[in-house]
A and B are shown apart, each in its own frame.
Chain A
């Protein structure tokens, strides 16, 4: 088979996306070729724009286009409720469910010695500072229900348990070994309403 080099380059790039294999990448590439020029230009512009504009919120490390993200700028969000998640994307999953009215803190991962990630590689010092600066009524730990997420939750409970009024864990009821990213809204509602006191 003799694929034109430009087409091959596109397939190669698309195939790097999570969940996309060679075959799907080819289908996507053919789709882009079939569509009008405007689509390809819009797609390319959107890709460049998102990389140029999106940064991490100074306060919570969620995705933002300004210094602070939309949640941190919203005076209606309760600063006494703080939900800790692993990835910036997790914020949108919880936001979409509409179940949570507090604020977030993104750790940028979970502890995993095998990957060389310890507490110092995560935004834990920043979380500690936030909790010490403003009183927190409830710290909700919403790390993934994986072993790494559990270990991170335990570490946080030991570090911050005495600094907040109440510390709860969301993971119970979420699918074991799963990730917040793939959790549906009903399950998320149940997980939030059924959150339990947590102490390691």
Chain B
């Protein structure tokens, strides 16, 4: 898919803006605080209907105004769509081809974009719940039915927690039965996506960096062992959960972690590699590994939907050395996706050939 045109009105620091984008690489150069990330936020908002920076959509309205508008032309599967978004204190309204959108989930699962942004990466590295949030999004990209499973699970977990707070252990059993059943379905879907990511993660990492290490994603489920034992196990451990007043085991406590290893020696390819866990990655290694992860997801989504997601890469070249920067730019230019990249200066060794380089200063694009 391609976002061809974008119009903003009273959005963040843009009073009015109209831009036509390149269908391939769009590079925006500007100092911090000039509105680069705000522009990417608008692009992301068009596909996810939420921001990657704030949970409160009213923060997107320009100071002093009461309504912000976004308008865009999006090309998808050969069809040109008109999208309009209105954000006010009351929330958001969406129109697709002049019709109000009733079911948000259908809209979200017809347009895809990936965001690469320092703040989100930082949170993802620090907090388990952000990692779970990221992968929940990825799993729902691959399997929209996962959204309903998550919804059901949240209901079951909330009902169960209520009983744990009140220490009603006998009433707990039907809920533990549902809890185990829902956990099993969710975890199965998570495991499938992680396995699929791992089939190409190392490939993408090596492509991006030119390095030889192996990269893999580990899924760390909180419930272990065969699923048919979980219900009984949860029932037996109810006193421990009741003591704290909330459920201690389940998909809401799962984790995901990256790890890296040197390539196996040629004389002994089956040797057990020495894995370096993610907390020991350098900042640069972490950024490029997460980019490799997005490239893997990007290809999976393209294969599944037949459409290329939009890649939104905020301040991509930060903390990467110039050799990698230039390699990265060459690689990204070859992708069929529409790309939005921001940087504080034109990358010296990574000057894109076909890109549209735009300068951003105080909410104006030249």
Contact = CB atoms under 8 A, between A and B. Distances in A.
- Asked if chains A and B come from one complex, the reply is yes
Interface of A: 111-114, 118-119, 146-148, 150-152, 154-155, 158, 176-177, 200
Given A177-B148, A200-B177, A147 B155 contact: yes
B178 A151 contact: yes
A105 to B, nearest CB: 18
Q: 3 closest Cβ contacts across the A-B interface?
A: A154-B174, A113-B162, A151-B174
B159 A147 contact: yes
A118 B163 CA distance: 10
B171 interface: yes
A155 B159 CA distance: 14
A21 to B, nearest CB: 14
Contact of A113 (B166, B177, B178): B166
Q: Is the interface of B mostly helix, strand, loop or mixed?
A: helix
B156 A147 contact: yes
Contacts of A114: 158-159, 162
A97 to B, nearest CB: 26
B174 A113 contact: no
B168 A154 contact: no
Contact of B159 (A112, A154, A176, A200): A112
Nearest to A120: B171
Nearest to A153: B174
A97 B175 CA distance: 32
Contacts of B162: 113-114
Nearest to A114: B162
Interface of B: 148, 151-152, 155-156, 158-160, 162-163, 166, 168, 171, 173-175, 177-178
A154 B180 CA distance: 13
A119 B173 CA distance: 12
26 contacts: A111-B171, A113-B159, A113-B163, A113-B171, A114-B159, A114-B162, A118-B168, A119-B171, A147-B152, A147-B155, A147-B159, A150-B174, A150-B178, A151-B156, A151-B159, A151-B174, A151-B175, A151-B178, A152-B174, A154-B174, A158-B173, A176-B148, A177-B148, A177-B151, A177-B152, A200-B177
A26 to B, nearest CB: 20
Contacts of A158: 173-174
Nearest to A146: B155
Given A114-B158, A114-B159, A147-B155, A154 B177 contact: yes
B155 to A, nearest CB: 4
Nearest to B162: A113
Contacts of A200: 174, 177
B151 A148 contact: no
A148 B159 contact: yes
